[in-house]
A and B are shown apart, each in its own frame.
Chain A
Amino acid sequence: GQQVMQIPQYQHVQEGEDFTTYCNSSTTLSNIQWYKQRPGGHPVFLIQLVKSGEVKKQKRLTFQFGEAKKNSSLHITATQTTDVGTYFCAGPSSYSGYALNFGKGTSLLVTP
């Protein structure tokens, strides 16, 4: 079945460094979503990408959707301690357009 792979599993950076997490699907996705989960919290929606090659920015966060719609990335510029958490990508499941297949997430630790 469809799988969404996410790398790296963990990333430890110094505050001010950049961070990138990558997401790859075994199949073409109609869209991809990104979520952030703070330690002890619940996943919170960040963004949805739909178009091939789409790039969206939210302040220091840049999201990209690949041309083939099988990969995506989240890049954070100049990380801050408030960026700490786990970032998940999610694509629609092959058995239901509403069901989401989540990647295993990238846990980001930022030290001051």
Chain B
Amino acid sequence: EAQVTQNPRYLITVTGKKLTVTCSQNMNHEYMSWYRQDPGLGLRQIYYSMNVEVTDKGDVPEGYKVSRKEKRNFPLILESPSPNQTSLYFCASSLAGEAFFGQGTRLTVV
């Protein structure tokens, strides 16, 4: 089954404690991206990757890092999380056109 898998689905952490949200897709898509979703603000792109070892900033990259060492994986790294990064995060992949989204990760930073 074609899918994008994110882990964890829910995470509560403390300010400053590094965390990684994993994302994996089994569709051999070249393009992957991360979004955050906040009430009233819709989906905002954090980072995207056109292919292995090719990543670039989206609209709201501050406080986040990504890596793309393999085609299937695109982890999102928060080196020092802060409360304003409390949000719902989605990973997505696409080949051309239609984007497939993961189930989402609800992150709370206290």
A103 to B58, alpha carbons, bound, how many Å? Answer: 15
Evaluate whether A42 and B90 lie within 8 angstroms (CB atoms) in the complex, with A102-B42, A104-B40 already known.
Answer: yes
A105 cross-chain contacts in B, Cβ below 8 A: 42-43
Whole-angstrom distance from the CB of B52 to the nearest CB of chain A?
Answer: 15
A102 cross-chain contacts in B, Cβ below 8 A: 35, 42-44
> B31 contacts A98, CB within 8 Å?
yes
> A33 contacts B103, CB within 8 Å?
no
Interface of A is mostly: loop
Verify if B110 is at the interface (C-beta below 8 Å from A).
no
A96 to B104, alpha carbons, bound, how many Å? Answer: 23
Evaluate whether A45 and B98 lie within 8 angstroms (CB atoms) in the complex, with A96-B50, A99-B58 already known.
Answer: yes
B103 cross-chain contacts in A, Cβ below 8 A: 41-42
Verify if B100 is at the interface (C-beta below 8 Å from A).
yes
A45 to B31, alpha carbons, bound, how many Å? Answer: 16
A44 cross-chain contacts in B, Cβ below 8 A: 101
A99 to B103, alpha carbons, bound, how many Å? Answer: 19
A49 to B44, alpha carbons, bound, how many Å? Answer: 22
A35 to B102, alpha carbons, bound, how many Å? Answer: 14
* Best-buried of A42, A44, A102, A105 by chain B (most CB within 10 Å): A42
A90 cross-chain contacts in B, Cβ below 8 A: 43, 99
Q: What is B's interface to A at a CB cutoff of 8 Å?
A: 31, 33, 35, 40-45, 48, 50, 56, 58, 90, 92, 94, 96-104
Q: What is A's interface to B at a CB cutoff of 8 Å?
A: 6, 9, 31, 33, 35, 41-45, 48, 88, 90, 93, 95-96, 98-105
